[in-house]
Amino acid sequence: MTSLSTSKDIDYRVTAENVEKAFGDNKVLRGVSFRVQSGTATTIIGPSGSGKTTLLRTLNALDRADSGVIRVDDVEIDFSTPTPKPEIRRFQSRSGFVFQSHNLFPHRTVLENVIEGPVMVQKRPRDEAVADALALLDQVGLAEKKDQYPFQLSGGQQQRVGIARALALKPKLVLFDEPTSALDPELVGEVLSVIKDLAVEGWTLVIVTHEIQFARQVSNQVLFTDQGVILEQGTPAEVIENPKEERTRQFLDRILNPL
């Protein structure tokens, strides 16, 4: 296993070492290693089928890695060995996940969706959860929608509720899986604006995105994945403006200069 030495002067919220994941004969992740500093935004870009979403899901054990070591905050798991379910739940509790397709409970109001995790999973007092949820809904611009149901909201509003729901768990890490891919183009900006605000506020974010201009603006670190490996990583200036790898250049040229 390739070891990533960690400087005592840098607080890494996420450390992944030699992460492998396959679905049957399809090897999706091939020895992936990277780190995420606390209070920074990391974006993962790359072609479809390159392993971006699977990599993100391993950080919350929604897809359990086959091998490799992942640490999120103070919980580290070696996925090469069996891990008790309580430890997996502890690992998962360190992060909040924002899905592509909102995944809101259709029969519950906006407020009820946001307090579900804190009350039912974290067993926090309802009054406390409601107060936090109202503050978060105000933060994402949806305080006046608290008593409405998901079907009464636009796709962008539903996604902003999904972000508030993830933040309500008070996670150490927030994971976004292509948060604008299911939205109409005119709704993309409102969701990206909320995520940019979170980055400015110092949340630790890992974002799978196909929005290259957004990645350029919000990222402290960009990972370019291809065929299950991180082919290139660095700052937006390094990866997006001046990529070293020909494959990265080809991908960016196709995205930024479509015919």
Boundaries of every domain in the chain = 9-94+172-185+201-259, 102-170
Global pTM reads 0.92
Q: Token digits for 35?
A: 């780190």
Q: Is the pLDDT of residue 10 over 90?
A: no
Q: How far apart are the first and last CA of the chain?
A: 43
Give the chain's count of helices (H) and strands (E). 9, 10
Q: 59-109, pLDDT tens digit by residue?
A: 999 999 999 999 999 999 999 999 999 999 999 999 999 998 878 999 999
Strand partners, 27: 22
- The CA–CA distances, whole Å, from 211 to 62, 177, 207, 216, 234 equal 24, 12, 10, 9, 17
φ/ψ bin of 152: left (φ > 0), alpha (ψ from -120 to 50), beta (otherwise) = alpha
Determine the pLDDT at residue 3.
40
- The bridge status of strand 205-208 relative to strand 41-45 is parallel
Cα of 181 vs its chain's centroid, Å: 14
Which residues neighbour 85 within 8 Å (Cβ) at sequence distance 6 or greater? none
Torsion of CA 95, 101, 106, 111, to 10 degrees: 40
Q: 182-222, pLDDT tens digit by residue?
A: 888 888 999 999 999 999 999 999 999 999 999 999 999 99
Give me the CATH code for the 9-94+172-185+201-259 domain, please: 3.40.50.300
